[in-house]
Structures are given as C-alpha cells and as structure tokens.
Amino acid sequence: MMQICEGRVAIVTGAGRGIGRGHAIELARQGARVVVNDLGAEVDGEGSSSGPAHEVVEEIKSFGGEAIANGEDISDYDGAGRLINAAVETFGGLDVLVNNAGILRDRMIVNMSIEEWDAVIKVHLRGTFCPTRWAAAYWRDRSKAGEVNDARIINTSSSSGIYGNMGQTNYGAAKAGIASFTVICAKELGRYGVTVNAVAPGARTRMTENLQRARAVASPGPDEFDARSPDNVAPVVAWLASVESAGVTGRVFNVAGGRISVAEGWHAGPVVDKGSRWDPAELGPVIEDLVAKAPPNAEMNGLIPWPETTD
C-alpha cells in the first residue's frame, strides 16, 4: 500500500495522547519520520512527564517507523526553536509542522481568573506561533538559498472557537485566533513553498470527556464504528501533510468520525449603503432588517439553524 508521506519529516506537538498521538502514529504509518513533542502535562497544563511521548515513539518503532521524543515547551520561544532544530539535526530537514498541543481552563466569563485566561492563550495561541515562526524562518532561508520547499503547517482550531461554546471564552478565543492565524500565514508563506491549513476536530479526548458526559453520548458497541475516536482525525492531517495537498491552503476543516467539511469563515452578508453618514437615531430599523436577512450563527456542530418555514 502506498505511503503518502514517504520520506517526509514531521513534528507533532502535544503528541503524547489523544488526537496528537493519532496524528504522530498515522504520519509514521504513512512513511514520515516523526518528532513526537509532548510535555506530558495534565489537561489544565500543570505538571509534566516524559512518559507519554516516549510511549508513542516506542509504538511507532514497533511497526518499523522512525520517531524521536521531544519535551520542549512549545509556548517558550527558545524551546520552540530547539524543537525545530531537533527535527533538522536528527532527520536532516523539516517538511511538516502539526501544531496540536493544548490545555483547558474552562470557566464562565464572570468567574474566570486572569491566570486561567493567560494559561490557555499562552499554550494554544503562543504555542502555535512560536514553532510556526521558527519553521517559517527555516523554510524562508531554504527558499532564499535556492532550495525548493514543499512544506506544510497544520494547525488545530476548534468548533468552540469558530462557532462558539459557553464556558470557553479563553479556549474559544485562542482557537478562533488560530483559525485567523492559519488564513494569514497561508497568504504570507505561499511564496516559500509552504501551505497552511487547520483542522477543527470533533473527538473524545481528555479535553472533551466532561462535555461528552454532559451530552450523554453513548459508547459504541464492540463491532461498531467509534465516531468519537480521536484517531479518526489523523487521516485528514496525514493527507494535508503529504505532497498531494499542495493545492490546498488557508482552509479550516471540520473533522469528526467519517465526516469532513470545510469551515466557511467570516464574510460580508446583507448590506445597506446610505452613501453618507448615518444618524444613530435612524439605525434601529436598518440594523434590525440586516440581522433579519442574515443567517443565524452556526451552532457547535457547524450547521446553521435555519428557522422552519410554513407554506
């Protein structure tokens, strides 16, 4: 069977467990040499352990794949630089960066502390920026030296960020930022032979298990397809990491179970133009009419709840 990432060198952050683990293993199965980055922290970002990353490396090696473990903090700028260098020094280059690491500090906005806000923004948003900044510089330097890149950055957004979920203003803001970061980086890095995309996964992980219990999601039977398995996201990431995806950039994909959709970003909807300055007193009916004509915001499943109509 063809391995679509044969010979590629990939970094996956947050790869010790859950969705990131699935990415690392699938990339290795598809022929990539993988740097498995993970701090081994708890869901809230506290603590650390080298165990999870090393366990994934051993699993990859068990089926003949190549991988190394890396414990750098990707939200630390210098640490992120060392992560990129680890791939280049160990495997001779870098083709793919998968920014996946994340934590949760869920709280309603009226109760959220500044520490809970900062911790989530740091790991998700800064932790996506730092490795990307170093990888982009590496590929830019190669391009300026006359080398040809066929490189990929794959970020991790979330339905919480692009559609909105109560109790996650910090997490959602970070994930929405990553979606915008993806679109802008795609515009900036295309000249260097780099595509930039993102996935918004739907899966059962340590970070979503409380949500799953709240929604009373039934577990599949032993012979049934587990639509909530975190491993279901990996095939899309592996394809985006491959040379086949060179024509796709600046996109965010919803991925859950066997379902894939393109998340459509903010765009201008109904419009009115007076051609001169508005008086605030006249805007009531104008804005109410615009809102009435615009589709409702999408729900957490990404679908727009169109109102029912009767004939």
Question: Of these residues, 157, 159, 163, 175, which one is catalytic?
Answer: 175
Question: Of these residues, 159, 160, 163, 171, which one is catalytic?
Answer: 171
Report in angstroms the alpha-carbon separations of 215 from 170, 209, 210, 220. 21, 10, 9, 15
Look at residue 36 and give its three-state secondary structure: strand
Strands (E), the chain: 9-13, 33-37, 66-70, 96-98, 151-156, 194-202, 252-256, 259-263
Q: What angle do CA 126, 23, 29 make, to 5 degrees?
A: 145
Selection from 304, 194, 196 nearest residue 253 by Cα: 196
Selection from 31, 11, 12, 16 nearest residue 244 by Cα: 31
Report in angstroms the alpha-carbon separations of 201 from 61, 151, 177. 26, 22, 16
Q: How buried is 144 (Cβ within 10 angstroms: 0-12 exposed, 13-18 middle, 19+ buried)?
A: exposed
Question: Of these residues, 157, 158, 160, 245, which one is catalytic?
Answer: 158
Q: Are 80 and 74 in contact (CB under 8 A)?
A: yes
Question: Has 138 been annotated as catalytic?
Answer: no
DSSP 249: -
Question: Has 192 been annotated as catalytic?
Answer: no
**End-to-end C-alpha distance for the chain, whole angstroms:** 54
Contacts of 219 (CB under 8 A, 6+ apart): none
Q: Which positions are catalytic?
A: 158, 171, 175
